[in-house]
Amino acid sequence: MPLSLDRPQRVLFYLPMVTNWWFVHIIEPLLRRLAAEHEVHVLAPAPWSGTGLGPEEIARCADLPAIRWYIMDGPDHPSTRTMPEDADGLIGFVRDLAPDVVLCRTADYQTIRCFPGTVRLLMEGRLEPFAPPPRWILLAERPHDHGLPAPLPDDAAARLRAMLAPAWDHLQARLAPPPGERGALFARFGIRDDRPLLLLPLECETEDNFFAMHRPGPKPNAALVRALAAELGDRCTLAVSNHPLNDAHVDAAALIEASDACDNVVLLPSRIGILPATLAMARHADGMLVGDSKTFALAAFFGVPMQRHSRFASGAWLNAYDAPAPFLADIAAGTARRPEPEAARQWFAQYLLNDAIDPLDAGDDVLAHLVRPVDPERWDRALARLEQTLPALFPAEAQASG
């Protein structure tokens, strides 16, 4: 039976990779809203490596007795974060449950493809430089397919771009680097100005980030820096920015040692002035090296050429290179492909006004996003929410006229 909003649905939350923060700020609000109208089940492993559900999380929902909990606590439960040892048994359990919808927080997207119903991953929805609250989420079929636009008629696409235009133009102007800043930053960090600068935003390496299993290439980040430095040689300078969660929770000794050992590498501080280092330096980079990181959005916003090393899809409008040789050759020649500006506006508008879900917004129904992945009727409301959530993005005169 097709998914419908006209009848109660059987909704399964499958949560091997949920952290306590994710449960409190994202999952619990979704559970409370869905349990009011639908049959809700939760399947998750016991706590391990910063993930899973335990008594603390379940106790938060003690006032929701209709929710049915299934906690996997056998000796093999850690394997559910990556590839379950008993994948057939897990799939059989879910098939017997027969959910209409499965909402997942897991790095293992292969197993969930065998689940019945409409199956989606719950992914982070906070992308720079707009940076809405970290509780915002996106629904995805695969973890890191980035920049894929929705098919829209020309008039609908034009409307979407126009709705975001005041915020887009205001943010572009606000983040435009002041004259002379590039030279001043290069001097401050000892970056040579006679060769291109490539920015490498590092990905999260905390123990609860099992998405790292999908990263191709050298691991951990210190090994990646050494490998890229050797590959680039004297052709480019590599500016490295660490992930904020790494700064807070991961020992940086190996990364610092690797950066210090390479004379073409500069390890940036966490912030440059009032801006995060990745954002501040993206404005001056000649190119960016990205993998599965959400920092692809910064390259898109600032029009920076990028090479993306990933097993997942990239929107064609990003013009991302998938191999280093042509990318480096075009960077050296000053002819590297850049993201398409109008397509960037279009994609950001789709992301902010059509795709993003706020778990605390009572009017933002996650099931409605599944039934109608593209819905022009929610754009005005989403724009009002964006104006309320991020008022600094909207010029005062535009808000007054609206």
Q: For the chain, 402 residues long, give each residue's pLDDT as a single digit of tens.
A: 678 788 999 999 999 999 999 999 999 999 999 999 999 999 999 999 999 999 999 999 999 999 999 999 999 999 999 999 999 999 999 999 999 999 999 999 999 999 999 999 999 999 999 999 999 999 999 999 999 999 999 999 999 999 999 999 999 999 999 999 999 999 999 999 999 999 999 999 999 999 999 999 899 999 999 999 999 999 999 999 999 999 999 999 999 999 999 999 999 999 999 999 999 999 999 999 999 999 999 999 999 999 999 999 999 999 999 999 999 999 999 999 999 999 999 999 999 999 999 999 999 999 999 999 999 999 999 999 999 999 999 876 544 444
| Residues 239, 222: Cα–Cα separation, whole Å | 13
Q: Are 222 and 250 in contact (CB under 8 A)?
A: no
Q: Kindly list the strands in the beta sheet with 265-267, ordered across the sheet, starting from the edge strand earlier in the chain.
A: 265-267, 237-241, 197-201, 287-290, 306-308
Backbone angles phi, psi at 92, to 5 degrees: -65, -40
Alpha carbons 143 and 108: distance in angstroms, whole number = 9
Find the radius of gyration of the CA atoms of the chain: 22
User: Tokens 């050494």 belong to which residue?
Assistant: 226
Tell me, what's the pLDDT at 1? 61
End-to-end CA distance of the chain: 42
In DSSP terms, 239 is beta-bridged to: 199, 266
Cβ pair 143, 125 in contact under 8 A? no
The per-residue pLDDT for 401 is 45
CA distances from 1 to 14, 75, 375 (A): 21, 36, 22
Number of Cβ within 10 Å of residue 333's Cβ equals 8
As given in the structure block, the two tokens for residue 90 are 């897990």
**Other CB atoms within 10 A of residue 377 CB:** 8
> Distances in Å between the alpha carbon of 353 and those of 43, 52, 197?
31, 31, 34
CA distances from 141 to 125, 242, 325 (A): 14, 28, 31
What pLDDT, on a 0 to 100 scale, did the predictor assign at position 400? Answer: 46
The reported pTM is: 0.95
Locus of tokens 């609860």: 208
Burial class (CB in 10 A: 0-12, 13-18, 19+), 9: buried
Please say whether the beta carbons of 376 and 353 come within 8 A. no
**What span, in angstroms and rounded, lies between the C-alpha atoms of 17 and 287?**
33
**Rounded to the nearest 10 degrees, what angle do helices 154-175 and 341-350 cross at?**
100
Which of these, 86, 100, 31, lies nearest to 62 by C-alpha position? 31
